[in-house]
Amino acid sequence: MINTSSMTIDDFQHRLGVQFNDISLLERAFIHRSYLNEHPKLGLEHNERLEFLGDAVLELAVTDYLYRTFPNPEGDLTNWRSALVKTESLAAVAEELDILPLFKLSRGETKGNARSHALISANAVEAIIGAIYLDQGYDAARGFIAAQIIARLDEILSTGAWMDAKSRFQELAQEQFGLTPAYKVLGEEGPDHDKIFTIGVYVGDKVFGQGNGSSKQAAQQVAAAAALESIETKSTTKA
């Protein structure tokens, strides 16, 4: 994670359209636990309590919106909510808001992998929601959630991103080929308590993707995701 802009807390407030009464709440939203491990004498608090609060406010706001807007059954609403609030979605919000320069991380976390950075970013978004809620109230937090998170719902619904990879690939395979995918175990490695499975997903006799996982179910999801990526890549190339 390398800072590429000079955004300040004041800049971020302006971007949000919110003037905090207690700016320390917003500052705390960007303090990762690892930073305090390296700077124990600063007397600061990390963002995990704000994240805990923001997560609850986020779930309530999204759930309330979905319930009031759509007559769909619980299963649909649950899947849509999960797609809106998952790590990848919130990390995308963080990237668009360009909050990276505001993070306070340890040197080790700064050099972490993409998955770690996505999780830190998503947690920071939840902490921001918690900070807005404490400082400005529920309506202001709900406004942020509506503008930055719920606004993504149309795309999620139109692309089918709310479905898990297996469901999405099954729908695509049935639509394009009139066949239901089949999953086959191609290999197993490791002892029983730490086994890794390799699964292939087939449509007819053609393999569309392979995946590894610590369970057959996890490997199937990875294989389905690989199959989706393969089909999308071919479609883009043809276009």
Chain-centroid distance, C-alpha 71: 25
Residue 55 annotated in active site? yes
Considering only the C-alpha atoms of the chain, give the largest distance between any 2 of them, rounded to a whole number of Å. 64
List Cβ<8 Å contacts ≥24 apart for 15-18.
Answer: 15/97, 16/132, 16/144, 18/132, 18/135, 18/136, 18/140, 18/144
Report DSSP state, residue 204.
T
Active-site residue among 55, 59, 96, 205? Answer: 55
Active-site residue among 126, 135, 155, 192? Answer: 126
Nearest to 205 by CA among 172, 182, 173, 234: 182
- Round to whole Å and give the CA distance between 216 and 198: 8
- Spell out a b/e string for 39-77, using b for 16 or more CB atoms within 10 Å of the CB, else e: eeeeeeebbbebbebbbebbeebbeebbeeeeeeeeeeb
Return the active site residues.
55, 126
